[in-house]
Amino acid sequence: MTTAKLQYQSGFGNYFRSEDSRCPGALPEKQNNPQVCPYGLYAEQLSGTAFTAPREHNQRTWFYRIRPSVIHKPFKPYTHKYVTYDVKDVPPNPNQLRWMPFPLPAKSDKTDFVDGLRTVCCAGDPKSRNGCAVYIYTCNTSMSENRAFYNSDGDLLIVPQLGSLEVFTEFGRMTVSPNEICVIQQGMRFSVNIKEESRGYVLEVYDNHFILPNLGPIGANGLANPQDFWAPTAWYEEREIEFEIINKFQGALFTATQKYSPFDVVAWHGNYVPYRYDLSNFVVINTVSVDHCDPSIFTVLTCPSQKPGTAIADFVIFPPRWGVAEHTFRPPYYHRNCMSEFMGLIHGNYEAKEGGFLPGGASLHSMGTPHGPDGPAFEKASRADLKPERVADGTMAFMFESSLSLAVTAYGNKECKVLDEKYYECWQSLKSYFNPNKREVNI
Catalytic positions, written as ranges: 292, 335, 341, 365, 371
Say how far apart CA 302 and CA 296 lie, in whole Å. 10
The DSSP bridge partners found for residue 223 are: 283
Task: Give me the phi and psi of 142, to 5 degrees please.
Answer: -80, 165
> Among positive and negative, which fits the CA dihedral 179, 102, 365, 213?
positive
Report CA-CA distances (Å) from 148 to 41, 165, 190, 191.
21, 14, 5, 5
Closest C-alpha to 339, from 423, 399, 420: 399
| Burial degree of 78 (CB within 10 A; 0-12, 13-18, 19+) | middle
Report CA-CA distances (Å) from 223 to 217, 218, 281, 316, 343.
12, 9, 9, 10, 19
Closest C-alpha to 84, from 46, 53, 56, 125: 125
Closest C-alpha to 97, from 424, 336, 429: 424
C-alpha torsion 70→75→80→84, nearest 10? 80
**Range list of H helices, 9-109:** none
Say how far apart CA 65 and CA 413 lie, in whole Å. 44
DSSP classification of residue 380: H
Query: Is residue 136 within 8 Å of 429, Cβ to Cβ?
Result: no
Query: Is residue 103 within 8 Å of 82, Cβ to Cβ?
Result: no
Task: Give me the phi and psi of 397, to 5 degrees please.
Answer: -100, 160
Closest C-alpha to 237, from 170, 166, 167, 141: 170
Task: Give me the phi and psi of 227, to 5 degrees please.
Answer: -70, -10
Strands (E), 140-241: 147-151, 155-162, 165-169, 172-176, 180-184, 190-193, 198-205, 229-232
Say how far apart CA 125 and CA 130 lie, in whole Å. 6
